[in-house]
């Protein structure tokens, strides 16, 4: 029979070995798949915030049920639980039948913008979406360009979508977003910046490349940086720019519609061309998934901007499920191939491991 002190030493050794294996696995996972780690951390944070809010509000919820029961028992008066002195009044939208001239600027709050959208995440082929949208909207030209004819667009918007191996997501996004942008009376075009090859994904550099190529097409004045898997839930989330950088995707379903942290700037964001130039674009140093949005937030604040966000539930989004693959890290330069599709311009980018001078970007 093994002596007691030997058993204790053996158990201690096994415990240390287990902790070492666990920490090593965690570090490898964080390095090889940071996107999954970030997403999991954000989800845990959002759940924690939601639980704390529920605990904090449980007294008010009990009071509400008691008062509701009292007022519903033999009285003609109802009690309004939605009164709030701190909330701003909802913006006023134009009434049905409002008319404007082709020589006038398009209104920002049209009656066709009704609010809550039906989000259809069922898979569909790109060809079916192209046929359907072009059949209903013959004004869309090659490359996905569209411009309202009944008024002057307030913004010329380039939608930049970083892309890799998401062929089932792109037609879902186009089917959902094109009609919304038309209702908002924005001049727009989609630029899908696809990273080819097998090198690690660099979302930030794809945005920078997309910006450079889009500006060769047209003198755009508003840039929307849009993940392919984000679908807005409210068409009053206006995709024009403002005098401050805009964060559109404030409440994501996979984060329980909670903002993971105040500096969160991911998913869908917008800047004017002037703002984008002032902050010197996205950082090129982030390879793999994650990190570039936090750096962009810092750049925005170093340039003395503040980030604006939609009111209330206008910033809600649904996320199409997907899986980030592990990505290692390196620095590189790019070459590209440009082609036009009926609903978007495709920019295929190939990265290499050769270090590129900053001036190239």
Domain boundaries, the chain: 9-71, 126-360
Which pLDDT score, from 0 to 100, does residue 195 have?
A: 85
Q: What is the pTM of this model?
A: 0.71
Q: Are 248 and 232 in contact (CB under 8 A)?
A: yes
Can you read off the two tokens belonging to residue 192? 């899908």
Which pLDDT score, from 0 to 100, does residue 223 have?
A: 98
Which pLDDT score, from 0 to 100, does residue 65 have?
A: 55
- d(CA 32, CA 35) in angstroms, rounded, equals 9
Surface-to-core class of residue 297, CB atoms within 10 Å of its CB (0-12 exposed, 13-18 middle, 19+ buried): buried
Q: Quick one: 126-360 is in which CATH superfamily?
A: Spore Coat Polysaccharide Biosynthesis Protein SpsA; Chain A (3.90.550.10)
Which pLDDT score, from 0 to 100, does residue 25 have?
A: 58
CA 121 to each of CA 49, 114, 232: distance values in angstroms, whole numbers, following the listed order: 28, 20, 11
Q: What angle in degrees, to the nearest 10, is found between the helix axes of 126-136 and 170-183? A: 20
Which pLDDT score, from 0 to 100, does residue 1 have?
A: 59
**210 φ/ψ sector (left φ>0, alpha ψ -120 to 50, else beta):** alpha
Can you read off the two tokens belonging to residue 118? 């039906």
- d(CA 218, CA 252) in angstroms, rounded, equals 32
Q: SS3 for the chain, per residue?
A: CCCHHHHHHHHHHHHHHHHHHHHHHHHHHHHHCHHHHHHHHHHHHHHHHHHHHHHHHHHHHHHHHHHHHHHCCCCCCCCCCCCCCCCCCCCCCCCCCCCCCCCCECCCCCCCCCCECCCCCCCCCHHHHHHHHHHHCCCCECCCEECCCCCECCCEEEEEEEECCCCCCHHHHHHHHHHHHHHCCCEEEEEEEEEECCCCCEHHHHHHHHHHHHHHHCCCCEEEEECCCEEECECCCCCCCCCCCEECCCEEHHHCCCCCCCCCCCCEEEEEHHHHHHCCCCCCCCCECCCHHHHHHHHHHHCCCCCECCCCCCCEEEECCCCCCCCCCCCCCEEEEEEECCCCEEEEEEECCCCCCHHHC
Which pLDDT score, from 0 to 100, does residue 325 have?
A: 45
- Residue 236: count of CB within 10 angstroms of its CB: 24
- d(CA 251, CA 260) in angstroms, rounded, equals 9
Which pLDDT score, from 0 to 100, does residue 302 have?
A: 92
Surface-to-core class of residue 247, CB atoms within 10 Å of its CB (0-12 exposed, 13-18 middle, 19+ buried): buried
The residue behind tokens 């939208």 is 93
- d(CA 111, CA 92) in angstroms, rounded, equals 10
pLDDT in tens, the chain (361 residues): 566 666 666 666 666 766 666 666 555 545 555 554 555 555 555 556 556 555 555 655 554 554 445 444 444 444 444 433 344 455 666 666 667 778 889 888 887 888 899 999 999 999 999 999 998 877 899 999 999 998 999 999 999 999 888 888 999 999 999 999 999 999 999 999 988 877 778 888 889 999 999 999 999 999 999 999 999 999 999 999 999 999 999 999 988 898 888 888 889 999 999 999 999 888 776 666 567 778 888 899 999 999 999 988 999 999 998 644 444 333 344 466 788 889 999 888 876 545 444 444 4
């Amino acid at each position: 029979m093994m002596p007691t002190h030997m058993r204790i030493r053996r158990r201690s050794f096994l415990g240390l070995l287990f902790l070492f294996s666990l920490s090593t696995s965690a570090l490898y996972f964080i390095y090889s798949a940071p996107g999954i780690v970030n997403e999991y951390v954000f989800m845990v944070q959002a759940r924690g915030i939601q639980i704390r809010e529920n605990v904090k509000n449980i007294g008010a919820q009990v009071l509400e049920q008691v008062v509701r029961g009292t007022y519903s028992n033999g009285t003609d008066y109802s009690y309004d639980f939605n009164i709030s002195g701190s909330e701003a009044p909802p913006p006023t939208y134009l009434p049905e039948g409002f008319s404007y001239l082709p020589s006038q600027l398009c209104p920002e709050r049209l009656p066709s913008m009704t609010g809550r959208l039906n989000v259809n995440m069922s898979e569909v082929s790109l060809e079916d979406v192209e046929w359907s949208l072009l059949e209903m909207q013959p004004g869309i030209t090659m490359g996905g360009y569209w411009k309202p004819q009944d008024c002057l667009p307030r913004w010329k918007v380039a939608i930049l979508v970083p892309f890799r191996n998401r062929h089932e997501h792109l037609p879902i996004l186009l089917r959902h977003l094109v009609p919304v942008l038309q209702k908002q009376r924005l001049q727009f075009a989609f630029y899908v910046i696809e990273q080819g090859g097998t090198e690690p994904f660099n979302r930030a550099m794809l945005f920078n490349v997309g910006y450079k190529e889009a500006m060769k097409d047209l003198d755009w004045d508003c840039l929307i940086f849009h993940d392919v898997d984000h679908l807005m839930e409210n068409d009053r989330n206006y995709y024009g720019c403002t005098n401050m950088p805009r964060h559109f995707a404030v409440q994501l379903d996979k984060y329980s519609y909670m903002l993971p942290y105040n500096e969160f700037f991911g998913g869908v964001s917008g800047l004017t061309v002037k703002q984008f130039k002032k902050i010197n674009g996205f950082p090129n140093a982030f390879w793999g998934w994650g990190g570039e949005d936090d750096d962009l937030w810092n750049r925005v604040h170093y340039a003395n901007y503040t980030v604006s966000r939609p009111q209330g539930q206008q910033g809600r989004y649904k996320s199409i499920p997907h899986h980030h693959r592990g990505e290692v890290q390196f620095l590189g330069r790019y070459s590209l191939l440009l082609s036009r599709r009926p609903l978007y311009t495709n920019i295929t980018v190939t990265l290499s491991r050769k270090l590129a001078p900053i001036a190239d970007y």
